[in-house]
Chain A
């Protein structure tokens, strides 16, 4: 199948594939998932990202939160956090969006074979992780175990709420959640920053890799805790959030040292980027 990043002769790298918004799911007060049908089947690898365009207004990078095995539909989970994401939140079903991509380097899932996988997610960082989880479910015969640790600001801010019970019912998968603080809604899981869940990571440290995705400050402290636990720099996979604008390694907005995050990432091992400047900003 054709991947849309391959440029056709005479066709601009900046042309979009149109997609119709079928459904908008409220995940939390600030986060919505947009279920779209692209005008052509859309293929991506888990962890790769797209540029999603609002006609005439702007575009922003998002890692699809849906399964890479579903090519007729595409889901993107968006937190309301700035000008363009506010505009996305104002959309109604039927809206036509533009997709460019997929871009970048996603999760190297071949490296996960035979491993126990510890996933640490925070806030809207669970979006790329959900796509990874769909992939890991497909390859569960090849992996040992998946432990998902997820933190949100409050129980209400927890996204994909129905997903956790489903995951816990799958052999080899377990999830643990924390909320930074209670908000009066029902919550029978941990209270505290997501790093509290790392006190008992629940994986065999000798045969594990870790995946971290979330806000920069959470990524920083989760990574430091994972290093304390004994994970090697090369076994911690980080999904970096930078100003990825063109997606092609050209515009320079996402440069992090010598790396173009849009092209060389967004998924990096900590070993690859630990010497880069300002990685947690």
Chain B
């Protein structure tokens, strides 16, 4: 596998413009009105890309699971997309999405095609947000084996480390397009220090939160009254699920011609599990609320061996009722 390389930021920006000009779709985080989110990159905004900040507002799943899509038509020739600056929490979340959508028996071809055609350039979070808590979910604030390339910005240079064969292939491609700088021992040390500082900050900030395994036990054991009390402010808007990197539930809507539209859905909406006869296991708000925690911390780990919470904290950011999942969990301890 190819080794870590260093590219000066000016060179890097020129490379991105060159790729964009040749029709490549590059998405990277841009700060707009104080909010960081992915944007399609062109020469006008390439200089505005933010590197190694905390996670973008949108989870990475938006590139693989559109909010609404016609699933009776398999997408033809989905072009390559290059996702720059994906945070570790979202990359970790893809493991669950892959387990569900790239299933041995029923592979979702649209999802698979989008995954295969994406190059994920992950970025360690040198900065963190108020609600970030990946370390409590056994996720480091730097990308691991789920991305293709890991990328850090030193202030002057972009450091790129291949993490997969696809990543190596992409780095081979760009090698001929940029002048690669000489990597110095200090570069890696600097990145490592920043990453470790992030991890330490997260651990310190979240020291009241139990680890993921303990959380599962607590969620399982909490009484009905606990969920009733903590769900009382919930308005079932579903924002927590929409913004969650691992929530993937959907609704099928029929259209003439036996076509089916797959639309993002969530167990937080009333009638999610209702059957024709009227039975509805999730009829009560508190049961729906509890269901989400059970799904994330108990059932998905039992089923797929991975936690369905990667600690991004977006559900806390998004909740219009001001419910903090972390406060709920802390109160269980």
Interface residues of A (CB under 8 A from B): 5, 7, 9-16, 18, 53-60, 81-85, 98, 215-216, 241-243, 245-246, 248-259, 263, 277-278, 281
* B32 at the binding interface (Cβ < 8 Å): no
Which residues of chain A have C-beta atoms less than 8 A from B254's C-beta?
53-59
Q: Using CB atoms, name the residue of chain A closest to B287.
A: A278
Stretch at the interface among B83-91, B124-132, B145-153, B257-265: B257-265
The CA-CA distance from A249 to B103 in the complex, in Å, is: 9
Known: A250-B106, A250-B250. A82 touches B277 (CB 8 A): yes
B-side interface size class: 35 or more
Q: Using CB atoms, name the residue of chain A closest to B247.
A: A252
> Pick the contact of B302 from A12, A60, A243, A258 — CB < 8 Å?
A258
Which residues of chain B have C-beta atoms less than 8 A from A253's C-beta?
249, 251, 265, 272-273
8 Å CB interface, B272-315 against A: 272-282, 287, 294-295, 298-300, 302-303
* B71 at the binding interface (Cβ < 8 Å): yes
Which residues of chain A have C-beta atoms less than 8 A from B258's C-beta?
15-16, 18, 53, 55-56, 98
Interface residues of B (CB under 8 A from A): 71-74, 100-101, 103, 105-110, 248-252, 254-258, 260, 262, 265, 267, 272-282, 287, 294-295, 298-300, 302-303
Which residues of chain A have C-beta atoms less than 8 A from B74's C-beta?
10-12
The CA-CA distance from A174 to B254 in the complex, in Å, is: 43
B73 A12 Cβ-Cβ under 8 A: yes
Known: A16-B258, A56-B257, A59-B254. A250 touches B248 (CB 8 A): yes
Q: Chain B interface secondary structure, helix, strand, loop or mixed?
A: loop
Which residues of chain A have C-beta atoms less than 8 A from B71's C-beta?
12-14
Q: Chain A's nearest CB lies how many Å from the CB of B237?
A: 18
The CA-CA distance from A9 to B112 in the complex, in Å, is: 11
Q: Chain A interface secondary structure, helix, strand, loop or mixed?
A: loop
The CA-CA distance from A140 to B74 in the complex, in Å, is: 45
The CA-CA distance from A11 to B75 in the complex, in Å, is: 10
Q: Chain B's nearest CB lies how many Å from the CB of A89?
A: 12
Q: Chain A's nearest CB lies how many Å from the CB of B277?
A: 5
Which residues of chain B have C-beta atoms less than 8 A from A278's C-beta?
281-282, 287
Known: A15-B72, A250-B101, A258-B302. A242 touches B252 (CB 8 A): no
